[in-house]
Structure 1
Amino acid sequence: MKIALLGYGKMGQTIEKIALERGHEIVIKTNEEEGYDINQADVAIDFSVPKAAFFNIAKCLKLGVPVISGTTGWLDNYEHAIKLCKENNGAFIYASNFSLGVNIFFELNKHLAKMMSQLKQYHVSIEEIHHTEKLDAPSGTAITLAEGIISQHDEYNKWLLNQNKKQTIPITAKRIANVPGTHSIEYKSNTDTINITHTAHTREGFALGAVVAAEWILGKTGVFSMKDVLNIG
């Protein structure tokens, strides 16, 4: 499989390592929006920056190259990307987090939220910790977790960053050097606390998930998620 890496920072370099180990070829690796021929690739993996992500995704979809995107912070254009995918009979996966373990954690989070929705004495909060190079806050993963809770729990209707208001899920975002990513959900009452946490030890878990998704999407058309890739939920 010939892969284009759109975004060649630390994450892109880790994806390259995993892809080569799995027998794939990297034909493009770039941090630029222009100057590359995407038609060289069988599939593109975008881990760029928020301002470049939609440009990269749109270019791939218009030219018929399946694209996997793990860039967060660009989702104002997500519906436009879906429209382009359908108009061009393309193939697209966006995930706020490609880690196989995190995608299991997403499902666990929703299942717990459904159970806790009957227990109004518990109040939920989310904390996420990432490396200091992460540009957006809260993380896309934390937002996905919050949205998962909201979908299962009628007590909450939105999330807020570093604020605690009625019917909202407060998200605390911390930036600490050399932390790949930690996400914790806490349900707290006057009598006890329930926590679930996912802790990434390296970037390789995210990279492996992205390469697995790229392998899976070849030959398919449509808009997919990691739930489709992993056949969970």
Structure 2
Amino acid sequence: MITVNAPYAVAVHEGNDFTANPPHTSIWGLLYAQVKQADGLDYRNILLNESEMKLKPKRKQDEIFSTFMQEAEERRAEDIRLNVRHPHKVDATAIMQDVMQQMTIEKHNDQSAFCVWSNKEVQEILELYGLPVDSSLSILCVEVFGQVNNTYEHIDDFAINKSSLIKNTEKEFGSEVALEYNRTIDVVGPQPPKRPIDPLNSHLGMHRILRTSPLTEVPFVCCTD
């Protein structure tokens, strides 16, 4: 299985983080195979597949605690199996301290996205292209700007923050402006369904590219799923 992770670009102004949540950009993972050209003198990169990477959700405290507890129990079981003189102790209090530290770390980490290709998917794609199933593979990530088509895409959590927007507008600009703003928002109506995009294929040239990663080799592993 090939798992790809990539961080979203961070929007900073005067030292402050203004990155939207969720980000207004999208990240796409591109899977390449390295194939020797006809004269055998060099290799060419053949695009096999592309996938829109999904926003990686922040883990909750219970989820992190469960993971850490399981790791501690597995470590203790392994110590007992190996007849270690002082097997690892499963201390819930100590684990909770580790959990709180991990939550702090993840809270301040940049938002990231991920995508996955199974070994079966990769093998089927290689066979479809008539390429050896043991071909060298590499990954490239491309982050593209989103296209803001409505108010919901322009303001984070628009439905939740609607009332606070009206209140802040009234406080800063007066009740008349706030009333007119409220009428304008009502015209927007319900949030429309998100339209699918294909910026690196059928929609190529219609979306601005923010940045790309280096082409990164997929490491060889002996295990398969």
TM over 0.5: no
Larger radius of gyration: 2
Does 1 or 2 have the higher relative contact order (CA < 8 Å, sep 6+)?
Answer: 2
TM-score by structure 1 length?
Answer: 0.21
TM-score by structure 2 length?
Answer: 0.22
